[in-house]
Amino acid sequence: MNAYGEKAKGVLEEFKAFALKGNVLDLAVAVVVGTAFNKIVSSLVDNIIMPIFGILTGGIDFKGLSVQVDGASVTYGVFLQSVIDFLIIAWAIFVAIKVLRSLERKEAAKPESEKVAEPTEEVKLLREIRDSLKHG
Protein backbone atom coordinates (compact mmCIF):
# COMPACT_ATOMS: atom_id res chain seq x y z
CA MET A 1 0.00 0.00 0.00
CA ASN A 2 1.37 3.43 -0.86
CA ALA A 3 1.56 6.47 1.46
CA TYR A 4 -1.77 7.86 0.20
CA GLY A 5 -3.55 4.57 0.87
CA GLU A 6 -2.21 4.38 4.40
CA LYS A 7 -3.14 8.00 5.03
CA ALA A 8 -6.66 7.40 3.73
CA LYS A 9 -6.96 4.29 5.89
CA GLY A 10 -5.81 6.28 8.92
CA VAL A 11 -8.36 9.00 8.21
CA LEU A 12 -11.12 6.41 7.81
CA GLU A 13 -10.16 4.77 11.11
CA GLU A 14 -10.15 8.16 12.81
CA PHE A 15 -13.56 9.00 11.34
CA LYS A 16 -14.93 5.61 12.42
CA ALA A 17 -13.72 6.21 15.99
CA PHE A 18 -15.32 9.67 15.95
CA ALA A 19 -18.62 8.58 14.40
CA LEU A 20 -19.09 5.63 16.71
CA LYS A 21 -18.42 7.52 19.92
CA GLY A 22 -21.37 7.44 22.28
CA ASN A 23 -21.71 11.22 22.28
CA VAL A 24 -22.15 11.40 18.52
CA LEU A 25 -24.77 8.66 18.55
CA ASP A 26 -26.55 10.30 21.50
CA LEU A 27 -26.55 13.58 19.60
CA ALA A 28 -28.02 11.93 16.51
CA VAL A 29 -30.80 10.37 18.57
CA ALA A 30 -31.43 13.72 20.26
CA VAL A 31 -31.77 15.46 16.89
CA VAL A 32 -34.28 12.88 15.62
CA VAL A 33 -36.32 12.95 18.83
CA GLY A 34 -36.10 16.75 18.93
CA THR A 35 -37.40 16.99 15.39
CA ALA A 36 -40.36 14.75 16.21
CA PHE A 37 -40.99 16.69 19.44
CA ASN A 38 -40.90 19.95 17.46
CA LYS A 39 -43.63 18.66 15.14
CA ILE A 40 -45.81 17.74 18.12
CA VAL A 41 -45.32 21.09 19.83
CA SER A 42 -45.81 23.02 16.58
CA SER A 43 -49.08 21.18 16.02
CA LEU A 44 -50.12 21.94 19.60
CA VAL A 45 -49.36 25.62 19.07
CA ASP A 46 -50.92 25.94 15.60
CA ASN A 47 -54.00 23.77 16.09
CA ILE A 48 -54.92 24.12 19.75
CA ILE A 49 -53.25 26.98 21.62
CA MET A 50 -53.34 29.72 18.98
CA PRO A 51 -57.02 29.20 18.08
CA ILE A 52 -57.89 29.38 21.80
CA PHE A 53 -55.62 32.43 22.17
CA GLY A 54 -57.35 33.96 19.15
CA ILE A 55 -60.76 33.42 20.74
CA LEU A 56 -59.58 34.99 24.01
CA THR A 57 -58.15 38.03 22.16
CA GLY A 58 -61.25 38.56 20.03
CA GLY A 59 -60.16 36.67 16.94
CA ILE A 60 -56.86 38.44 16.33
CA ASP A 61 -54.72 36.56 13.80
CA PHE A 62 -51.14 37.48 14.59
CA LYS A 63 -49.79 36.20 11.28
CA GLY A 64 -51.92 38.73 9.44
CA LEU A 65 -50.71 41.78 11.38
CA SER A 66 -48.64 44.14 9.25
CA VAL A 67 -47.87 47.81 8.67
CA GLN A 68 -47.25 49.59 5.37
CA VAL A 69 -44.17 51.82 5.44
CA ASP A 70 -43.32 53.67 2.21
CA GLY A 71 -44.83 50.89 0.11
CA ALA A 72 -43.10 48.11 2.03
CA SER A 73 -45.10 45.68 4.14
CA VAL A 74 -43.66 45.04 7.60
CA THR A 75 -45.28 41.80 8.75
CA TYR A 76 -44.58 42.06 12.45
CA GLY A 77 -47.38 39.58 13.17
CA VAL A 78 -45.29 36.71 11.79
CA PHE A 79 -42.52 37.76 14.18
CA LEU A 80 -44.96 37.88 17.12
CA GLN A 81 -46.23 34.42 16.17
CA SER A 82 -42.65 33.12 16.09
CA VAL A 83 -41.95 34.59 19.55
CA ILE A 84 -45.13 33.00 20.95
CA ASP A 85 -44.21 29.67 19.32
CA PHE A 86 -40.73 29.86 20.86
CA LEU A 87 -42.07 30.62 24.33
CA ILE A 88 -44.54 27.74 24.18
CA ILE A 89 -41.92 25.31 22.85
CA ALA A 90 -39.40 26.44 25.49
CA TRP A 91 -42.06 25.98 28.19
CA ALA A 92 -42.95 22.51 26.91
CA ILE A 93 -39.28 21.45 26.91
CA PHE A 94 -38.84 22.91 30.41
CA VAL A 95 -41.84 20.93 31.70
CA ALA A 96 -40.69 17.73 29.95
CA ILE A 97 -37.22 18.02 31.50
CA LYS A 98 -38.70 18.69 34.96
CA VAL A 99 -40.89 15.57 34.65
CA LEU A 100 -37.95 13.43 33.50
CA ARG A 101 -35.73 14.67 36.31
CA SER A 102 -38.51 14.02 38.81
CA LEU A 103 -38.84 10.45 37.53
CA GLU A 104 -35.07 9.98 37.74
CA ARG A 105 -35.05 11.19 41.36
CA LYS A 106 -37.91 8.83 42.23
CA GLU A 107 -36.03 5.91 40.65
CA ALA A 108 -32.83 6.82 42.49
CA ALA A 109 -34.73 7.10 45.78
CA LYS A 110 -36.15 3.57 45.52
CA PRO A 111 -34.69 1.11 47.98
CA GLU A 112 -32.24 -1.37 46.49
CA SER A 113 -34.69 -4.20 47.16
CA GLU A 114 -37.20 -2.67 44.70
CA LYS A 115 -34.67 -2.22 41.92
CA VAL A 116 -34.50 -5.23 39.65
CA ALA A 117 -30.92 -5.95 38.70
CA GLU A 118 -30.03 -8.03 35.67
CA PRO A 119 -28.14 -11.16 36.74
CA THR A 120 -24.49 -11.30 35.77
CA GLU A 121 -23.25 -13.64 33.07
CA GLU A 122 -21.77 -15.89 35.75
CA VAL A 123 -25.13 -16.22 37.51
CA LYS A 124 -26.85 -16.98 34.21
CA LEU A 125 -24.26 -19.66 33.43
CA LEU A 126 -24.61 -21.21 36.88
CA ARG A 127 -28.39 -21.29 36.47
CA GLU A 128 -28.01 -23.06 33.12
CA ILE A 129 -25.70 -25.65 34.67
CA ARG A 130 -28.12 -26.17 37.56
CA ASP A 131 -31.07 -26.57 35.20
CA SER A 132 -29.20 -28.99 32.95
CA LEU A 133 -28.18 -31.10 35.98
CA LYS A 134 -31.81 -31.23 37.12
CA HIS A 135 -33.02 -32.43 33.72
CA GLY A 136 -29.98 -34.52 32.85
Find how far residue 48's CA is from the centre of its chain. Answer: 22
Q: Given 58, 81, 106, which residue is the final one in a domain? A: 58
The mean of the pLDDT values for the chain is 81
What is the pLDDT at residue 98? 92
Query: Do 25 and 91 belong together in one domain?
Result: no
As for how many domains the chain has, the answer is 2
- Burial grade of 77 (CB within 10 A; 0-12, 13-18, 19 or more): middle
Q: Which of 38, 58, 78 is the last residue of a domain?
A: 58
* 129 and 99 housed in the same domain: yes
67 and 100 share one domain? yes
What integer pLDDT is reported at residue 119 of this predicted model?
83
| Domain co-membership, 65 together with 119 | yes
Helix extents (H) in 1-136: 3-19, 22-44, 50-56, 76-109, 121-135
The answer on 73 and 33 residing in a single domain is no
Lowest mean pLDDT among 1-5, 70-74, 84-88: 1-5
Range of the structural domain that residue 20 is part of = 1-58
Which one-letter amino acid corresponds to residue 52?
I
Residue 46 and residue 75 in one domain: no
Say yes or no: 52 and 67 in one domain. no
Do 14 and 72 belong to one domain?
A: no
pTM of the model: 0.47
51 shares its domain with 70: no
Cα 90 to Cα 102: distance, rounded to the nearest angstrom: 18
Using the predicted structure, report yes or no on whether residue 75 has a pLDDT greater than 70: yes
